[in-house]
Amino acid sequence: MATAAQNGDIHSASDILDRLRDVANDEEQVPIGDVVEAMGARSFGPFIMLPALIEISPLGAVPGVPTFLALVIAITAAQLLFGRDHLWLPGFVRNRSAKSEKVLKAVDRLRPIAEWMDRWFHGRMKRFASGPFPRIAAACVIALAMTVPPLEFIPFASTAPMAAIAAFGLALIVRDGLLMLIAGVLTVAALGTGIALAGGGG
């Protein structure tokens, strides 16, 4: 997977899916560790966005998958929050894998969403995507990820926090401050919706 990681920086949601497809085409099983290598060592934005997109895809309907993806997101965001330079994931996460066939189907399902994101978000209001804002985004992402486990068994309930997380991830990748602000608004809405649904479920 080293060659994939050497293809340059990731600049869009479509770039993420292209890297993921490359990994899935090379192997029968796709370990998360290989995906990290393909995305690059400084994979905070992609590894916040990609698990959120996967959760929104049909793969997210598998019991336990949303909570696991939320854990990956929280681990990644925590390292961004505390200023680490390179992404680290524990062995039990890096060794977790999915069948290539399922990954490729997820990539195909997500492609229209990624292309729509790439058309609309591309580096505006950059002052809101630098300085303290990436760490503020990381804190919001952790809060959103924490809402996923209790919402997992309510149909489509985790889509709202994962959509906000995906927006933060893309904002970090393309340094789009406008999208960062939109993601902040989505965070408030998602947290409010999550609290209401969790309370109603109880």
Question: For residue range 129-171, what is the model confidence (pLDDT) as tens digits?
Answer: 788 899 999 999 999 999 888 887 777 778 889 999 999 998 9
Torsion angle in degrees (nearest 10) through CA of 151, 117, 115, 141: -40
Examine the pLDDT at 197 and tell me if it is beyond 70.
no
* pLDDT one-digit tens code per residue, 105-135: 888 988 998 888 888 887 778 888 788 899 9
Report the mean per-residue pLDDT for the chain.
84
Examine the pLDDT at 16 and tell me if it is beyond 60.
yes
- Segment among 50-64, 86-100, 138-152 with least mean pLDDT: 50-64
Rounded mean pLDDT, 30-47:
82
* Model confidence band, residue 46 (pLDDT cutoffs 50, 70, 90): confident
Structural domain total, the chain: 1
pLDDT at 32: 87
Examine the pLDDT at 77 and tell me if it is beyond 90.
yes
Contacts of 160 (CB under 8 A, 6+ apart): 186, 189, 190, 193, 194
Q: In terms of residue numbers, what domain contains 96?
A: 2-201
Q: Note whether 174 and 11 are within 8 A (CB).
A: yes
Q: Note whether 38 and 45 are within 8 A (CB).
A: no
